[in-house]
A and B are shown apart, each in its own frame.
Chain A
Amino acid sequence: MAQQRMALWAAEADLDEDVDLSLAIGNYGQNGHFEDAHIQQPQIDETAFVAMQQHMAQQAAFSQIPDVVKGFIVHFHQAVLDNNLAEITVAYESGWNKYTEKFYARTEWPEAEVIAPLVNDDPIFLILYRELYYRHVYSRLQPNVDDRFHSYENSCELFNYLLNSEGPVELQLPEQWLWDIIDEFIYQFQVFCTWRSKVKSKTDDELTMLAEGGPVSIVWSSYSVLNVLYSLIQKSRVNEYIVAQQEGKSQEEIAEIVGEYGQRPLYRMLGYFSIIGLLRVHVLLGDFTLALKVMDNVELNQKSPFTRVTACHVTTYYYVGFCYIMLRRYPDAIRTFVTVLNFIMRMRQYHTRSYQYDQISKTADRMYALFAVCNALSPSRLDDNIANISKERYGEQYAKMARGGEESLAAFEELFLYACPKFITANPPPYDDPAALANLISPPSPDSPTESAPAVTPTDPTHRHLGLFLADAEAQSPVPTLRSFLKLYTSLGAKKLANFLDADEEEMVQEMMVMKQVSRSVSRIAGSEKGGLLDGQTITTSDLNFVIDENMVHIAESTVGRRYAGWFIKNTERTQRIFDDLKSMPLPTPPKTITPVSAPLGQAQTTADAPKKGPRTGGQKVAWGGVKVA
């Protein structure tokens, strides 16, 4: 195939209209070159026969579809044709889920080919339909190897349509769906890589497929995934859009800057979500600096219009916070988690009914775990409320981690493994090289006569990152004990301290340098939202400071005054809300059972409020719970 090597990292995306994204990508970096000749042309009459059989099978399948589902699909299709965002949203957010629960909880939705007659074979709708179809397979069922390949092809078709049509497409989709498209694309990439890296559990068929070079080898390759994300970012000029917004440019100027694609919400949102997607992909691949670097233009705050999609907002903070952990910037990680955990708590009342609520609360739970980890490594008093919830959930582990020593490591490991992202390996095992593959499955035993070096047991990426993190945690594991001794003195001889600790004096002095080192951290300056996420200055993170004057340790402790004002502000706001709620409530009709008069005010209000706003009650309970401890 006389195709030019495409400079796709430049991701100009002005590909020839008809180039299939899935084929254009990955021409470099892969050894496989594909030739049409490989694909055998089947006999004609056989094709006709197969087609007829398929047709009959499809008809049978078609008749199986319940009428309401047929109606739903027709309606859904019409909404997409009309670009009716409200109707699409309803169909997407509730219709699809409703019929999934009712008819397809344990089986696939009808295949796109089967429902095609309902939608006049509309290719765009069928792509969107397959997007949902495969997402359902991935989330509810077990995708087989064909599903994995086809879902990739379908994603490519979708992105091809969006990027390589003549000019921007007219299609409109709800923001939530756009996020889900990107999110799912990366999720499927991640599960594919994980699946691919497990050599031992493959069937022969799967092995043959994976061993095949050519087009197959670029399916879900890192380059192809990055290429899609970069193309969407560049086509939409979303980075330029964000910068222009920050500079306070007028609507007209912005329109000029972002061009015909960037003006459309569909492209702009996809562009933005792709930035977040890149953040995630880079983290999954273990590139924590690059992950933060792609976010250079994005301001992390709650005001940006991009925060409307909660799932995206939460994902962003989770991955940014995790990067900071791997950069040993625990204070930044803590601040990141606290911000978004407070956000989730405030938003909870609106989200209980969202189909994403589960996912969000799972991520939140992982962030509480990571918060506990960071707080153990770099104690802070940023937010008592979040700290209390974190201690409620991970109290046992937190106690171990904060105490330091050998036992702390098991707790660090447990929480890290629970809360870390699902790391992936960029490249497949050597499926195309049977010898190397066999070597991987059963490495030559060390006592075999082969001259090969001692077999290195392959570690998965998660354990590589875990090892690095644990080494850091271990380095500071003596600190809590040292600290507890230092807190008792204002000055103390090094020898005496070493005796207390039953340690060698020189060892202990070196330990002290570690302690000093970990009480400093690079951190973004509090309150400033300017500058990239990598920027920062060294700050002191510990309230206990010391210095060694030859052999004498001098200690000074900083104390934090009690935070009355913050407490009063929070509670004033709360009281104002309750007061407003009370005032806007209709006068109660005489109740059948009278509330006991002795009930405290807060509780009485809650009970009265309960039938109207169910989920909210929970939120207030937690908030009031915080008061006791504060």
Chain B
Amino acid sequence: MSSNWITPSTRTELIEDLVSGVDRYNPSNVGILEDYLYHQIRSEEYDCLANLAILKLYQFNPDLYNPDVVINILIKSLTASPLPDFNLCISLLDERATNVNLDEPDPLPSLLPVLKGLHRLLYRCRFPAFWTTYRSNDLENLRDNYTVECIGFENSVREVVVRAVKAAFTQISTERLGSYLDINGIALETYVKTLGWTLNSSTGVIGIPPNPDNQIEATVVQEAITLPQLTRVISHAALKV
């Protein structure tokens, strides 16, 4: 994981202490971490380890459980694909007995399969299907109550698309890219321009600049022998002398 994933540059010292120290187990710190999550949602930041620390506290202290927070964490982690963040969050969601005494019905059980479905589509690069599902009537609840609050959610989905496309393509048709990004026309042109990709307006083909993943080359990997591998052979020979 890149160092920015382990320690995002936007993480404050206070949060760093909570994430890396034993104080992360202290239930009274959950508020600080939850506030930090809402800060991430408002300012398009993301800190997976800090959010996992919230889920950890929920795991140990079922009383703290706040379904809205969990859903927001899952939404944030969705767009980290193909990194395993979404799975890591689900791993910490212990099965809880359906609480009959809750004042309001828990929204998580019904949204969890929806979010898992979205994750599945993103991880499998089924981008057009993702948008269709995401915009469907069935997901109105998720959109109106959650993703709308998460600033830049759709753009971060597009970033997932961009990561996948730029690794696999050198050129891609406008139509195809448009269906992946769920934008077209002028908006698409502008988006492509901000990426630094080139649009050939006569052919409608978009060129993607070379990067380590879309440059291919046939190579023969040769064996490299390092000195330590030979230590035993040499020291044995030396012993004899």
Say whether A468 contacts B94, CB under 8 Å.
Answer: no
Residue B147 lies at the interface, judged by CB distance under 8 Å to chain A:
no
Task: Assess A440 versus B230: contact at CB under 8 Å? Given A517-B167, A561-B222.
Answer: no
* Residues of A453-509 whose CB lies within 8 A of B: 453, 455-456, 458-461, 464-465, 468, 471-472, 475, 506, 509
CB distance from B3 to the nearest CB of A (A): 7
* Residues of B97-156 whose CB lies within 8 A of A: 97-100, 105, 109-110, 120, 123-128
Say whether B229 contacts A517, CB under 8 Å.
Answer: no
CB distance from B161 to the nearest CB of A (A): 9
Task: Assess A328 versus B94: contact at CB under 8 Å? Given A226-B25, A230-B22, A452-B100.
Answer: no
Chain B residues within an 8 Å CB radius of A565: 223, 225
Residue B233 lies at the interface, judged by CB distance under 8 Å to chain A:
yes
Residue A599 lies at the interface, judged by CB distance under 8 Å to chain B:
no
Residue A545 lies at the interface, judged by CB distance under 8 Å to chain B:
yes
Say whether A566 contacts B223, CB under 8 Å.
Answer: yes
Task: Assess A517 versus B164: contact at CB under 8 Å? Given A288-B91, A468-B90, A548-B170.
Answer: yes
Task: Assess A550 versus B172: contact at CB under 8 Å? Given A9-B24, A11-B22.
Answer: yes
Chain B residues within an 8 Å CB radius of A516: 164, 167-168, 213
CB distance from B240 to the nearest CB of A (A): 9
Say whether B87 contacts A472, CB under 8 Å.
Answer: yes
Residue B69 lies at the interface, judged by CB distance under 8 Å to chain A:
no
Residue B56 lies at the interface, judged by CB distance under 8 Å to chain A:
yes
Residue A215 lies at the interface, judged by CB distance under 8 Å to chain B:
no
Chain B residues within an 8 Å CB radius of A532: 6
* Residues of B197-222 whose CB lies within 8 A of A: 205, 213-222
Say whether B23 contacts A513, CB under 8 Å.
Answer: no
Task: Assess A436 versus B99: contact at CB under 8 Å? Given A516-B164, A548-B168.
Answer: yes
Say whether A458 contacts B95, CB under 8 Å.
Answer: yes
Chain A residues within an 8 Å CB radius of B230: 569
Q: Could you say which of A459, A514, A549 contacts B95, with CB atoms under 8 Å apart?
A: A459
Q: Could you say which of B56, B165, B170 contacts A513, with CB atoms under 8 Å apart?
A: B165
**Chain A: CB-nearest residue to B127:** A510
Chain A residues within an 8 Å CB radius of B185: none
Task: Assess A426 versus B218: contact at CB under 8 Å? Given A453-B105, A547-B169.
Answer: no
Residue A29 lies at the interface, judged by CB distance under 8 Å to chain B:
yes
Chain A residues within an 8 Å CB radius of B126: 510
Cα distance, A559 to B126, chains bound together (Å): 31
Stretch at the interface among A131-139, A151-159, A204-212, A534-542: A534-542
Chain B residues within an 8 Å CB radius of A7: 26
Say whether B216 contacts A9, CB under 8 Å.
Answer: no
Task: Assess A509 versus B87: contact at CB under 8 Å? Given A9-B25, A547-B169, A569-B233.
Answer: no
Say whether A576 contacts B236, CB under 8 Å.
Answer: yes
Stretch at the interface among A87-95, A408-416, A427-435: A427-435
**Chain B: CB-nearest residue to A230:** B22
Binary contact track B1-29/A, C-beta < 8 Å → 1, others 0: 11100100000000000001011111100
Say whether A439 contacts B173, CB under 8 Å.
Answer: no
Cα distance, A328 to B91, chains bound together (Å): 14
Cα distance, A473 to B205, chains bound together (Å): 33
Binary contact track A564-581/B, C-beta < 8 Å → 1, others 0: 111001001100100000
B52, B56, B168, B205, most chain A CB atoms within 10 A: B168
* Residues of B52-70 whose CB lies within 8 A of A: 52, 56, 59-63
Say whether B220 contacts A573, CB under 8 Å.
Answer: no
CB distance from B59 to the nearest CB of A (A): 5
Chain B residues within an 8 Å CB radius of A572: 233
Cα distance, A456 to B106, chains bound together (Å): 13
Q: Could you say which of A11, A506, A545, A549 contacts B171, with CB atoms under 8 Å apart?
A: A549
**Chain B: CB-nearest residue to A430:** B97
**Chain B: CB-nearest residue to A231:** B22
Chain B residues within an 8 Å CB radius of A226: 25
CB distance from B223 to the nearest CB of A (A): 5
Chain A residues within an 8 Å CB radius of B97: 429-430, 433, 436-437, 439-440, 458
Task: Assess A453 versus B109: contact at CB under 8 Å? Given A10-B22, A426-B59, A510-B125.
Answer: yes
**Chain A: CB-nearest residue to B24:** A9
Say whether A327 contacts B120, CB under 8 Å.
Answer: no
Cα distance, A464 to B100, chains bound together (Å): 23
Q: Could you say which of A11, A536, A556, A564 contacts B218, with CB atoms under 8 Å apart?
A: A556
Chain A residues within an 8 Å CB radius of B2: 522, 536-538
CB distance from A584 to the nearest CB of B (A): 13
Say whether A464 contacts B220, CB under 8 Å.
Answer: no
Residue B31 lies at the interface, judged by CB distance under 8 Å to chain A:
no
Say whether B217 contacts A556, CB under 8 Å.
Answer: yes
Residue B82 lies at the interface, judged by CB distance under 8 Å to chain A:
yes
Chain B residues within an 8 Å CB radius of A361: none
Cα distance, A610 to B53, chains bound together (Å): 56
Cα distance, A293 to B88, chains bound together (Å): 14
Residue A512 lies at the interface, judged by CB distance under 8 Å to chain B:
yes
Cα distance, A547 to B24, chains bound together (Å): 44
Chain A residues within an 8 Å CB radius of B93: 464
Say whether B109 contacts A456, CB under 8 Å.
Answer: yes
Chain B residues within an 8 Å CB radius of A562: 223
CB distance from A443 to the nearest CB of B (A): 8
A11, A506, A516, most chain B CB atoms within 10 A: A516
Residue A558 lies at the interface, judged by CB distance under 8 Å to chain B:
yes
Task: Assess A561 versus B220: contact at CB under 8 Å? Given A288-B88, A439-B97, A548-B170.
Answer: yes
Chain A residues within an 8 Å CB radius of B214: 547
Cα distance, A308 to B173, chains bound together (Å): 60
Cα distance, A556 to B22, chains bound together (Å): 49
Residue B84 lies at the interface, judged by CB distance under 8 Å to chain A:
yes
Chain B residues within an 8 Å CB radius of A536: 1-2
Residue A223 lies at the interface, judged by CB distance under 8 Å to chain B:
yes
Say whether B84 contacts A561, CB under 8 Å.
Answer: no
Task: Assess A439 versus B100: contact at CB under 8 Å? Given A29-B27, A458-B95, A566-B229.
Answer: yes
Say whether A569 contacts B229, CB under 8 Å.
Answer: yes
Chain A residues within an 8 Å CB radius of B109: 453, 456
CB distance from B227 to the nearest CB of A (A): 12
Chain B residues within an 8 Å CB radius of A472: 84, 87, 123
Residue B49 lies at the interface, judged by CB distance under 8 Å to chain A:
yes
Given A510-B126, A518-B82, 10 additional A-B pairs, CB 8 A: A289-B52, A290-B56, A455-B98, A464-B93, A464-B95, A510-B125, A517-B167, A522-B83, A549-B171, A559-B220
The 4 closest A-B pairs by CB, nearest first: A9-B25, A286-B91, A513-B125, A556-B216
Q: List 11 A-B contacts (CB under 8 A).
A: A10-B22, A426-B94, A430-B97, A452-B98, A453-B98, A464-B95, A514-B124, A537-B2, A555-B216, A558-B218, A561-B221
* Chain A residues packing against B (C-beta within 8 Å): 7, 9-11, 28-29, 31, 222-223, 226, 230, 234, 285-290, 293, 326-328, 425-427, 429-430, 433, 435-437, 439-440, 452-453, 455-456, 458-461, 464-465, 468, 471-472, 475, 506, 509-514, 516-518, 520, 522, 532, 534-538, 545-551, 554-566, 569, 572-573, 576
